[in-house]
Structure 1
Amino acid sequence: MKDALTQALASPDNPGQEPAIKVLMVDDQMMVCEAVRRMLADEPDISFHAINDPSKAIETAMEIKPTVILQDLVMPDIDGLTLVKFFRAKPETKEVPMIVLSSKEEPETKKKAFELGANDYMVKLPDKLEVIARIRYHSKGYLNLLQRQQAEAALKAELDEAARYVRSLFPDPMEDATVKTDWVFISSSDLAGDTFGYHYLDDEHFAIYLLDVTGHGVGAALHSVSAINVMRAQSLPGVDFKDPGAVLAGLNEAFDMDKHNQMYFTLWYGVYHLPTRTLKFSSGGHPPSVLITDPTNPQGSLQTLATPGMVIGGMPDAPFTTDSTEVPAGSKLYVFSDGVYEVNYADGNGMMTEEEFAEGLCLPAEEGKTKVAGMVDWVRRAQGQDAFEDDFSLMEIIFK
């Protein structure tokens, strides 16, 4: 079965196709309907449908899918203004242009008709040229609307598919003899600029990383996918992926913003060495990660892990350093983007800071929730709303 747009855009130039413009006239006076039919008889791109029983108007409109509706305001059994309201209440007809017909100019009636959703008002019956001009004008606008809606639906479908692909790159939560991982990700738009991951480099090294591309949308998502795939595949020539500073330097060279549409990203990258329980890390313009080494005294054992470094792609040959720390058994590492804490407090008391978010990480997990899920609710309560203005990405790594 043809959809509304396919039918509406059909042209008389194409044999077997229906006319582009479809007029549905609702008027109990057959003579008026016949008069309009004759006005339109010589217009090959306009088809005319009339109905004298207003109780069947909605049903008929659903069947023929008009591009404009002409409707009388004075009919037996049903008030014309009520019928306008019924047309606007139906999803299938709420956008179809409506031209109401009246026997005389009545400002109050005209006002009510427009308030209920009518698009035009004619005193019947005006000159043939005026009738045709108004029908063409309103139908053209409606056909353009259908085209835009179809294009938007196609674009949304493509964006949804792209978003599913981006999400497919996220790692599954995992647990083995060395680590237990969990994460939460909430995109602020159809396509996000945040992405993250973790994987074993070999039997002794476990890599952890999170990056945040400037901006949102398709460009940011493509940039983040390119970068994360490089890290997953370890495809930077001559770079030792067990050396965090070297990884950031290699990415900075490979993703020079002058060669990537002025796009850059922040990054935190760490490598955990199992035999020595040492975590090496480096960061470029990214928020410090939080390491809690004693779960029984989280505030007293909290460490922030970051190194000085510019955003990735911001400046050629920018230096990146590597730092390290010991990781006692039971330690918890939290890696996140700035979208988790750059929120305005609902009470108007400024914006949450990194330190305040870190304090939230030290709180016990809410009953019945994982720690990362509980942090989402904790931030939502702080800002007084569910939606986030930036991507919310938070990873938890528990070292056994």
Structure 2
Amino acid sequence: MIKILIIDDNQDHVYFLKQIFTEKRNIIKKLKFDEPFKIYKASTGIEGIKMAQLHEPDVVILEQKLKGMSGLEICKAFKALKGLEKIPIIFHTAIQDPEQKEKAFQMGASDYLEKPVQPYELLMKIKRHIELYHLQLELQRTFEIHEKDLNLARNLQKRLLPTPAQYKNIKFDYLYIPSHSTSGDMAGIIPLSDNENFVYIYDISGHGLTSSLLSIIVKEELEKIVVEKKEKNLKKVILALEKSVTNYFGDDMYFTGIFAILSKEKIQYANFAHREIIFITNNEITTDEFTNFPLGIGLVTSPEQITLKEQKITPDTKIALYTDGLVEFSEKFTTEKLYKIITQNLKTPEQIIPEIENAIKTNLTPPRPPDDITFLILSWKQSS
């Protein structure tokens, strides 16, 4: 049913319009209207608004010269009311005034036709504007469903991140800001023993639900290898992970990451096309930018293709890992700015995270960054 609301206090004009919708069947057939018309009439603006709220018409045909509210005022009211603002309004009026026509479009009118209008022209305009209106509604519904799915994915990813608290032997804190379309960032810590922890951060390529889902799959597979199978050899962990997840990744999909085993005296790690690992000792920074091939695309198939690195650490050493969204959301937030923040006289991860968060808020255009932002900083817990 195609619902037409006519707002006009001239009954002859209303009758003329009704005749078009009921008797011009050859034109209606030619323009391929697939549903019958249902006509609603109103003689004033207030009555028209109430009928629109009640019946939700597909199009409004509006006279400009009315008693009480003018057509322009009615159009403005429609565009200000939730639920009515997208309904197409076609002015059908005897007023031949270019200034009035311009004002009508400024108020949000979809079209402006002068009386007497040819039936074919009116029906053609109605069909075009109704099709556009329904397309807008469908896009809005699709967007709302997509946004709901994205919010679910964001919340799920956030729940899978580690709880900011002190583990038995390390302390850490992290920052996670999901993008508008959500992405595939993930970070975590898995205790291996009293003296060892498995630490990781990774970033799935692309955006959207696919990247988010792949992020969860990689986390599940990684925990199976490290927790259930109790694998502690870093190369074997990586090879098993690559073997188990590669089939999930389609064309042009991959992931970068850093995987490490952290103990009190050292950290052994492997970087797979990810951002640099950062070491902070006595407010001095050292970084390691060496990387292996990215994962998820079957390029890493043997131990010889993995280069492990090792770094001695002290009780004062803090280790920072992050994804590229942190230094790509704004030209003003560079790696140099990041380094400056984390080399301030801040002693614990819990002190560093708020400083980074404040700096991001200063430079971030609301509401969300274009890519996920993840930053993890940790240090070995000193004995009391």
Query: How would you bin the TM-score normalised by the shorter chain?
Result: 0.7 to 0.9
* Secondary structure of 1:157 counterpart: helix
Cα shift at 1:250 = 3.5
In the other structure, the counterpart of 2:283 is 298
Are 1:240 and 1:247, in contact at CA under 8 Å, matched by a contact in 2? Answer: no
Q: Would the alpha carbon gap of residues 179 and 235 (structure 1) be closer, same or farther in structure 2, given more than 3 Å must change?
A: closer
Q: In the alignment, what sits opposite 2:292?
A: 309
User: Does the Cα contact within 8 Å between 1:70 and 1:100 map onto a contact in 2?
Assistant: yes
Higher RCO (CA 8 Å, separation ≥ 6 residues): 2
Letter in 1 for 2:334: M
Q: What are the within-5 Å matches in structure 2 for residues 281-360 of structure 1?
A: 281-293=269-281, 297-299=282-284, 302-305=285-288, 307-313=290-296, 315-317=299-301, 319-342=305-328, 344-346=330-332, 352-353=334-335, 356-360=337-341
Give a deviation string over 1:180-215, Cα, whole Å, max 9, x none. 221111122322121111121344421110001222
Shift of 1:34: 2.8
The answer as to whether partners of 1:205 and 1:242 remain within 8 angstroms in 2 is no
Relative to structure 1, the CA distance from residue 277 to residue 389 in structure 2 (aligned partners, 3 Å threshold; closer, same or farther) is same
Q: Name the count of aligned residue pairs.
A: 365
Question: What residue number does 1:396 align with?
Answer: 377
1:245 aligned residue (235, 250, 259)? 235
Q: Secondary structure at the match of 1:290?
A: strand
Mean Cα displacement is larger for which, 280-289 or 302-311? Answer: 302-311
One-letter code of the match for 1:277? Answer: E
RMSD between aligned residues: 2.9
Equivalent positions of 1:118-157 (< 5 A) are: 118-157=109-148
1:362 aligns with 2:350: no
TM-aligned CA distance change 1:323 to 1:213, over 3 Å: same
Seen in structure 2, the aligned counterparts of structure 1 residues 181 and 23 have a Cα distance that, compared at 3 Å, is same
The question of 1:173 aligning with 2:130 is answered: no
What are the superposed Cα offsets for residues 88-120 of structure 1, whole Å, 9 maximum, x if unpaired? 122222211111121143222222212221111
Query: Residue 74 and residue 135 in structure 1: after superposition, are their counterparts in 2 closer, same or farther (change >3 A)?
Result: same
Amino acid at match of 1:172: T
**Which stretches in structure 1 are left out of the alignment for 5+ residues?**
1-18
How far off is 1:66 after superposition?
0.7
SS in 2 for 1:201: strand
Where does structure 2 lack aligned partners over 5 or more consecutive residues?
A: 26-34
Residue number in structure 2 paired with 1:374: 355
Give the structure 1 partner of residue 104 of structure 2: 113
Report if the CA contact (8 A) 2:170-2:378 is conserved: yes
Q: Aligned AA for 2:287?
A: T
Which amino acid is 1:332 matched to?
A: K
Deviations 1:129-186 (A, max 9, x none): 4433333332232223222222222222222223322222212112144122211111
Query: Which moves more between the two structures, 111-120 or 27-36?
Result: 27-36
Structure 1 residue matching 2:39: 3-state secondary structure = strand
Amino acid at match of 2:273: G
**Residue type of the alignment partner of 2:135:** N
Deviation at 1:51, TM superposition (A): 0.8
Tell whether the 8 Å contact from 1:282 to 1:306 is kept in structure 2 after alignment: no
Q: Structure 2 matches for 1:190-229, cutoff 5 A? A: 190-229=181-220
Letter in 2 for 1:267: G
Supply the distance in 1 between the matched residues of 2:54 and 2:258 (Cα, whole angstroms).
Answer: 58
Matched residue, 2:32? none
In the other structure, the counterpart of 1:10 is none
Aligned to 1:234: 225
User: For 1:76, what is the secondary structure of its paired residue?
Assistant: coil
Letter in 2 for 1:282: A
The DSSP-based 3-state class of the residue aligned with 1:221 is: helix
* SS of alignment partner, residue 234 of structure 1: helix
CA-CA distance at 1:24 after TM superposition? 0.9
What are the superposed Cα offsets for residues 233-278 of structure 1, whole Å, 9 maximum, x if unpaired? 22799x87423333334434444489632322111111123xx533
Q: Which stretch has the larger CA shift, 87-96 or 336-345?
A: 336-345
Q: Deviations over 1:307-348 (max 9, x none)?
A: 5422224524362122333333343221111222245544xx
Is residue 2:73 matched to residue 1:86?
Answer: no
Q: 1:224 to 1:331 in 2, by over 3 A?
A: same
Scaled by the length of structure 2, the TM-score of the pair is 0.84
Question: Hey, what's the Cα distance between the residues in 2 that align with 1:258 and 1:130?
Answer: 54
1:128 to 1:313, Cα distance in 2 relative to 1, 3 A? closer
Does structure 2 conserve the Cα–Cα contact (< 8 Å) formed by 1:257 and 1:263?
no
Measure, in 1, the Cα distance between the counterparts of 2:331 and 2:90.
49
The residue number in structure 1 matching 2:30 is none
Identity %: 21
Q: Residues 248 and 283 of structure 1 are in contact (CA less than 8 Å); yes or no, is this contact kept in structure 2?
A: no
1-structure distance, mates of 2:152, 2:255 = 23
CA distance in 1, matches of 2:201, 2:326: 13
